[in-house]
Chains A and B, each alone.
Chain A
């Protein structure tokens, strides 16, 4: 889909990008990462011809980009940068409608598209379309930025730190949303970041750059497990085992677990707890509300009284959480297992510390592959 062949770009005789070759497949998220000044942004801008290469070829869909008129090329490639990129003199709706407007779409088609995109990024169209950029929070502005890049439904998106200027919590939410949207739209995306966690979370493949050169181009798992050289090794850091966990979703580690309601009989409770140390307690709708320890079985009181209650929102995990998130929650709460719930908050199983340890060990073994 996108191919850079031996591309070099000199600025005042210094190579910002140096003999760089990269191939990005259709529907793939490729994250360019590296320390500042490594040429990742320049590489991105070479693709939509905001920067012209000194030598080398860039192909999009097998076609040399230098043969397409720059404006025409750019209208077929979505481009999102940090929120500064939104036009302050236009409303949110007008901002999103810029490229469709350039492409000559009719007014109604544009406004329908604007509404569709605002809904896609989770902003209520009637409320947000007439707003000005200065009225948006950082997170909202960046969502609008993404919506704008998607406006003309381009097959390719170039994103330069699209989630850069927001707080970590918002950033994480945006990343989750990004993945959800990408699963639906399957765009070919090249994303630039200097945040390794972001790269690991979002990328199908990561391209690590160092002073204009490609050092390693591989899946996040492989990059973490077997860094190509000392630079990549140092870049991914000593906590790569932990980082790897943020690539693994909780889903495949959820194991079925018995549960009881507070109205269960003593016999049902004993049967449910079996050989375990504790059993989850759910309410009438199947939502976890706490647990009962084996030690409390001897307590003759009501089930309701021997139940240890906990804030469900704080303890449960869902299938889309990562092992990294599950682990940090376990450590925070001091639990050895957490209840897993479905989209409606109903208990579907649990995830245990032992399983996470096994997953970590499995990753470590990849070092020797």
Chain B
């Protein structure tokens, strides 16, 4: 069963390595895009591709980290006795966070936090909060009453029951939420370019303004690949945490 696991990680590592190497080969990009679009200015001139990807990843990492760091404890808290009465409010607010367009959040955040990284991260964080909180709540709710009763009946305290029983049983559902949130963030982080946070949104916006589809491709293609690689990465973590041997051999 570890063989299969190992193979999954090796495939991912190879794909990632290929992607990173390609990012450095600006000449290849230029050549490829030139043949497709038959024009000369096919590469976004302001920053190299690897720098753009770096900025983009920074946005995603910061906002997703914040989402997990706050979303998971929030989800746990509203399922505890002390926070139970806040469950409806928190669900409503996180839903609002996602229905509220990130662009609008940006517009509102700029007067408060200025331009650049901070307002973008805040917008992305709010936008990605819902799946994490909702899946944390759902995952914890899926632990059966009997199982919990037994945990308490054996002499576990509330924290022990949470750490030893509830979270391990809920972890796959929680991770599925994180996965969704991160993937959404990779796409949504494009808007950071609007207020100068950089990232792969920059060539796209430049391309849209200048009617240069090549720029758009230069931004969109790596973002798509990043989304796929991250999805695989988190999927692998999810699978390696499977406790049921049936699924492990899957």
In contact, A132 and B243 (Cβ under 8 angstroms): yes
User: What residues of B have a CB within 8 angstroms of the CB of A90 in the complex?
Assistant: 168, 243
Contact digits for B150-181, partner A, Cβ 8 Å, 1 yes 0 no: 11111111001000110011000000000000
In contact, B155 and A102 (Cβ under 8 angstroms): yes
User: What residues of B have a CB within 8 angstroms of the CB of A102 in the complex?
Assistant: 154-156, 160
User: What residues of A have a CB within 8 angstroms of the CB of B157 in the complex?
Assistant: 71
B99 within 8 Å of A (CB atoms): no
In contact, B155 and A75 (Cβ under 8 angstroms): yes
Q: How large is the interface on A (under 10, 10 to 19, 20 to 34, 35 or more residues)?
A: 20 to 34
B35 within 8 Å of A (CB atoms): no
A134 within 8 Å of B (CB atoms): yes
User: What residues of B have a CB within 8 angstroms of the CB of A84 in the complex?
Assistant: 144, 146-147
Please judge, given known A-B contacts A71-B156, A74-B153, whether A89 and B169 are in contact too, CB under 8 Å.
yes
**How close is B150's CB to chain A, nearest CB, in angstroms?**
4
A79 within 8 Å of B (CB atoms): yes
User: What residues of B have a CB within 8 angstroms of the CB of A135 in the complex?
Assistant: 245
A128 within 8 Å of B (CB atoms): no
User: What residues of A have a CB within 8 angstroms of the CB of B153 in the complex?
Assistant: 45, 48, 50, 74, 79, 81
**How close is A114's CB to chain B, nearest CB, in angstroms?**
15
Contact digits for A242-275, partner B, Cβ 8 Å, 1 yes 0 no: 0000000000000000000000000000000000
User: What residues of B have a CB within 8 angstroms of the CB of A70 in the complex?
Assistant: 152
User: What residues of A have a CB within 8 angstroms of the CB of B152 in the complex?
Assistant: 50, 70, 74
User: What residues of A have a CB within 8 angstroms of the CB of B245 in the complex?
Assistant: 132, 134-135
In contact, B168 and A74 (Cβ under 8 angstroms): no
User: What residues of A have a CB within 8 angstroms of the CB of B147 in the complex?
Assistant: 84-85, 87-88
Instruction: State which residues 117-158 of A face B: CB under 8 Å.
Output: 132, 134-135, 148
CA distance A73 to B228 in the complex (A): 51
User: What residues of B have a CB within 8 angstroms of the CB of A85 in the complex?
Assistant: 146-147, 150
In contact, B169 and A88 (Cβ under 8 angstroms): yes
User: What residues of B have a CB within 8 angstroms of the CB of A45 in the complex?
Assistant: 153
Contact digits for B40-63, partner A, Cβ 8 Å, 1 yes 0 no: 000000000000000000000000
B149 within 8 Å of A (CB atoms): yes
State which of A74, A88, A148 has its C-beta within 8 Å of the C-beta of B243: A88
B27 within 8 Å of A (CB atoms): no
CA distance A137 to B37 in the complex (A): 64
A134 closest partner in B (C-beta):
B244
A330 within 8 Å of B (CB atoms): no
In contact, A88 and B244 (Cβ under 8 angstroms): yes
User: What residues of B have a CB within 8 angstroms of the CB of A89 in the complex?
Assistant: 165, 168-169, 243-244
User: What residues of B have a CB within 8 angstroms of the CB of A76 in the complex?
Assistant: 155
User: What residues of B have a CB within 8 angstroms of the CB of A79 in the complex?
Assistant: 150, 153-154
A160 closest partner in B (C-beta):
B153
CA distance A312 to B245 in the complex (A): 42
User: What residues of B have a CB within 8 angstroms of the CB of A73 in the complex?
Assistant: 155
Q: Enumerate the 9 nearest inter-chain pairs by beta-carbon distance, A residue then B residue, closest first.
A: A75-B155, A74-B155, A89-B243, A85-B150, A79-B153, A89-B168, A84-B146, A71-B155, A71-B157
In the assembled complex, 29 residue pairs joining A and B whose CB atoms fall closer than 8 Å, in A order, are A50-B152, A50-B153, A71-B157, A72-B155, A74-B152, A74-B153, A74-B154, A74-B155, A75-B154, A75-B155, A81-B150, A84-B147, A85-B146, A85-B150, A87-B151, A87-B169, A89-B168, A89-B169, A89-B243, A89-B244, A90-B243, A98-B164, A99-B155, A102-B154, A102-B155, A132-B243, A132-B244, A134-B246, A148-B154
